[in-house]
Amino acid sequence: MMNQIGSRTIKLTIPAKPEYITLGRLALTGLAGLRPVSAETLGDLKLALTEACSNSVRHAYRDGRDGLVEICYELHSDRLVVEVADDGEGFDPGDIGGNGGDDLSEGGLGIAIIRALADELELGNRDAGRGSRLRFVKFLAD
């Protein structure tokens, strides 16, 4: 799906189960094939995506109900933007070291990894109310 001139957007919704995270990684690999991306950058992006999805799968639906994880990929000429969202319990970014990344607990470690690999990171609640949203940006070299 075209979003803006020079950009491509793909949205993928997966069940909030660990075995489906691979689908998100495969979509990322396919999208990265549309533009030259180094193997190192692609590896970093896959790790960041895996951490983001794992946080949603692990933390969003603790009450035992089934849920969904939405992944939105935006490939621009100079960057790749990935947003992972769920309708789970949500979180307070300050509780996981949102400002300094010093909290290396289970959720905080994943966020610290994403922060180290991405050029930009946004954490917060979904606009629609319940749930969380994690968005990261990786600038792509020419």
Of 57-66, 82-91, 100-109, which range is least confident? 100-109
DSSP 34-54: TS---HHHHHHHHHHHHHHHH
C-alpha triplet 93, 24, 12: angle, nearest 5°: 85
pLDDT of residue 36: 85
pLDDT of residue 45: 96
pLDDT of residue 91: 61
pLDDT of residue 8: 86
- What is the number of alpha carbons within 13 Å of residue 66 lying toward its C-beta? 2
Domain covering 8-139 in this structure, CATH number: 3.30.565.10
- 99 has a pLDDT exceeding 80: no
**H or E element in which residue 137 lies:** strand 132-139
Domain segments of the chain: what residues? 8-139
pLDDT, the chain, mean: 83
Please report which confidence band the pLDDT of residue 104 belongs to, taking 50, 70 and 90 as the band edges. very low
Mean of the pLDDT values across residues 99-116?
69
pLDDT of residue 118: 97
Tokens 């070291």 map to which residue?
A: 97
pLDDT of residue 126: 80
Please write the tens of the pLDDT for every residue from 38-52. 999 999 999 999 999
pLDDT of residue 112: 95
